[in-house]
Amino acid sequence: MRALLSKAAGGPETLVLDELPDPVAAAGQVVVAVKACAINYPDVLIIEDKYQFKPQRPFAPGGEIAGVIESIGEGVTGWNVGDRVIGMTGHGGLVEKVAVPAGSLYPLPPERDFAEGAALLLTYATTIHALLDRGHLVEGQSLLVLGAAGGVGLAAIELGKAFGARVVAAVSSEEKAQAAREAGADETLIYARAPFDKDQSKALAEQFKALGGKAGYDVIYDPVGGDYAEPALRSIGWEGRYLVVGFPAGIPKLPLNLTLLKSCDVCGVFWGAFAARDPKANAAHIARLFQLWKDGKIAPRVTETFAFEDGGKAIAKMAARGAIGKLVVKVAD
């Protein structure tokens, strides 16, 4: 089978399309013929050895797949050859076939295509965990979403609205602001590109505060980091929750006196570890996501698809922070 492999640490240009032996389903596993693989920011980091996990090389990036079950290992029940499925692989998804634990898969509804299915789990499961378990968001509260036109950003807008929040979406361009409005944002804010000096940081904080109102935001969802973090934190409300989701703009340093003055929480969001530690709670979240998907309250926005051999270009676009919504690599028809 063909696989897009990382053989040495480096950027997307170092990936090589090569041949590997077909996988065999071990006990408890199924082999999935991959049709589509979504690209996420961890794919940028993992090939550069900057992610939390460093797989042994050669390995394929790609953590979200959709495809068709090709074979079933010993002891697997509830699945049949030919079933359409979606699942998380962590890495290893940019391949024609992959062996995965049967329990990590979910059925792809017949009315959904493979690209949309591949784009669902990571962004929405991360976000529902963030907003409900870490942010304790409830109806009538206010939510500020940074990087609101990316995959997790749009998920945060949709889920925030589904849960009854007022959502302010912060983005870096009018094109991205339009995407946020289409996802349901009540207000949009266009910020400048970092880095910021002291005056620019203060001005951005005032922008956030203007749309947050006198009470400030109950929850701030930050998948961006960098120089955007402190201005956002300054706009948080009393006993607000600041959700740390990612750092494509760099790892920020926050003045902790702000947490005292607002009596607020700064909360880390690590969905992968949560899913491993509390699989029942994660399964309940995913069941809720499927219902919201069925009801039309969420819908993964796939804005661009790439040929298998161009998978590195998708990762490069993600690295450049040029993506709106989700980027998906089409592995097979």
Same domain? 36 vs 146: no
Count how many residues are written for the chain. Answer: 333
> Quick one: 66 and 143 in the same domain?
no
Q: Are 329 and 306 in contact (CB under 8 A)?
A: yes
This prediction has a pTM of 0.93
Q: Do 65 and 136 fall into the same domain?
A: no
pLDDT at 96: 98
Q: What is the pLDDT of residue 137?
A: 98
Q: Is residue 282 domain-resident?
A: no
In the 8-state DSSP scheme, what is residue 95?
Answer: B
Residues 108 and 155 in one domain: no
Enclosing domain of residue 169: 122-272
Specify whether 214 is located in the same domain as 175: yes
Alpha carbons within 13 A on the beta-carbon side of 328: 29
Of 140, 170, 138, give the one whose Cα is nearest residue 154. Answer: 170
CA 111 to CA 121: how far, in whole Å?
A: 17
Please check whether residue 15 is in contact with residue 5, taking contact to mean a CB–CB distance below 8 angstroms.
Answer: yes
3-state DSSP call for residue 302?
Answer: strand
Among 247, 157, 256, 265, residue whose Cα is nearest residue 194: 247
Q: What is the CATH classification number for the domain harbouring 213?
A: 3.90.180.10
Tokens of 286: 């995913």
What's the CA gap between 288 and 85, in Å, rounded? 17
Tell whether 99 and 181 lie within a shared domain.
no
pLDDT of residue 267: 97
Cα separation, 19 vs 152, whole angstroms: 33
Number of domains comprising the chain: 2
- DSSP type of residue 83: -
State residue 217 phi and psi, 5-degree precision: -90, 140
Return the closest-CA partner of residue 88 out of 100, 74, 75.
100
Question: Is residue 108 in a domain?
Answer: yes
In a domain, 96, yes or no: yes
**Omega of the bond leading into 248 within 30 degrees of 0 (cis):** no
Same domain, 126 and 248: yes
pLDDT at 129: 98
The answer to the question of residue 112 being in a domain is yes
Q: Are 155 and 234 found together in one domain?
A: yes
Q: Which residue has the tokens 């005292």?
A: 260
Long-range pairs for 269-274: beta carbons < 8 A, 24 or more residues apart:
269/126, 269/129, 269/130, 269/134, 269/243, 269/244, 269/245, 271/122, 271/125, 271/126, 271/129, 271/130, 272/90, 274/129, 274/133
pLDDT averaged per 10 residues, the chain (length 333): 96 95 97 97 93 91 97 96 96 97 95 96 97 98 97 97 98 96 98 94 96 96 97 98 94 94 97 94 96 96 96 94 92 94
CB neighbours (10 Å) of residue 210?
12
Query: Does 281 reside within a domain?
Result: no
Residue 284 lies in a domain: no
Q: Are 148 and 169 in contact (CB under 8 A)?
A: yes
Same domain? 212 vs 88: no
**Cis upstream peptide for 110 (omega within 30°):** no
What pLDDT score does 322 carry? 79
Q: Which of 272, 291, 316 is the last residue of a domain?
A: 272
Are 135 and 186 found together in one domain? Answer: yes
Does residue 277 fall inside a structural domain?
no
Quick check: helix, strand or coil at residue 18? strand
Q: Which helix (H) or strand (E) holds 275?
A: helix 271-277
- Answer whether residue 293 is part of any domain: no
**Residues 260 and 142 both lie in one domain:** yes
Same domain, 134 and 235: yes
Output the six-digit token pair for 147.
Answer: 């990087």
